[in-house]
Structure formats: C-alpha cells, structure tokens
Amino acid sequence: MSKYEIFPATMEHVKELAQTMCLEDIEECWAARHYAPLEALEQAVKISSDATTGLIDGTVACIFGVAPVSLAGGKGSPWMMTAPILREHGRTFLRGNRIWMEDQKYKWLFLENYVDARHTLAIHWLKWMGFDMDKPAPYGPDRMSFHRFSWENI
C-alpha cells in the first residue's frame, strides 16, 4: 500500500519536480510565460502563501498552491504542477482534492487562473473540482489557446 504525505513545499521538492514534471505541465509553463520547469516552480512557490507538496512513497508527485491576487478582495490564483507518478494514483488524488477545495471556501472568495487548452486531463480535473471553464482564447507570449477557469465562493 502506498504512503501519501502532504508537506509545505521546499526547494528540494521544487528541484525534484523540475526534473520529473509531466510533459503537459512543461508545455503549459512554456506557453503561459516562457518558463522552464524550475523557473515556473520557483516563481509559483515564491508568490504563494501556502505552497504544498504531495508525496507518494517519498517521491514528489505534485506541488500546488494559491497565489494571492488581492488579499483585500479575497482573490487568488490556484496552480498545480505534477509528475507522471500522480496519474497512477488518480482516485486517492481526487479524494484529497475535494478536501482541499472545501478548505478553500474558508480562505478565498474568488479563484481564477488559466489552463493550456491542450492539457485535457487538467481541464477535466478542474471541471470535476467545480471550476467554471471559459471558451479557449489567446493567452501568453505566443498567444496560445488557453481556458480561463474560475470559482466563486457563494
């Protein structure tokens, strides 16, 4: 049986995931900001108030968090970057995500970000989590097709 753990993200976690990140997340990081995996992770962790690492049997499976956009307005920008190992543990991951989403109701009034339109697994996951998904539109330095996704705490 696998061991699942959650810890605050560290630079060691960031460096490990930068080496093992799934291709879809690498492509999204580049399309959104022209960031390589290490730079994308460093920036996301730096600006987030609660960057968290998910470990599976001691291996970094994902790092995620919410970057405050407006503390006064309760707006945040959720993000997640993953390693391929996470796909092997989908059910456990999905159960944990529902718990995380419930917790966000006490922290944020509004969450929004953008997802690469090619990243179909992430799009399905975001819809399952309860995010609203806009039609794809140009985004990022190369004006690639991205969906804006959002969630309002009502």
pLDDT tens digits for range 19-76: 999 999 999 999 999 999 999 999 999 999 889 999 999 999 999 999 999 867 799 9
Q: What is the pTM of this model?
A: 0.94
Q: Has residue 150 got a pLDDT over 80?
A: yes
**pLDDT confidence tier of residue 92, bands split at 50, 70 and 90:** confident
Domain range for 43 is 4-152
| pLDDT tens digits, one per residue of 96-137 | 777 888 888 889 999 999 999 999 999 999 999 999 999 999
- pLDDT at position 26 is 98
Q: Has residue 95 got a pLDDT over 80?
A: no
Q: What is the CATH number of the domain that holds 78?
A: 3.40.630.30
Q: Please state the three-class secondary structure of 18-76 as a single string.
A: HHHCCHHHHHHHHHHHCCCHHHHHHHHHHHCCCCEEEEECCEEEEEEEEEEEECCCCEE
Closest by CA to 80, choosing from 104, 36, 48, 110, is: 48
- pLDDT at position 39 is 98
- pLDDT at position 72 is 79
What is the number of domains present in the chain? Answer: 1
- pLDDT at position 103 is 87
| 87 or 21, greater pLDDT | 21
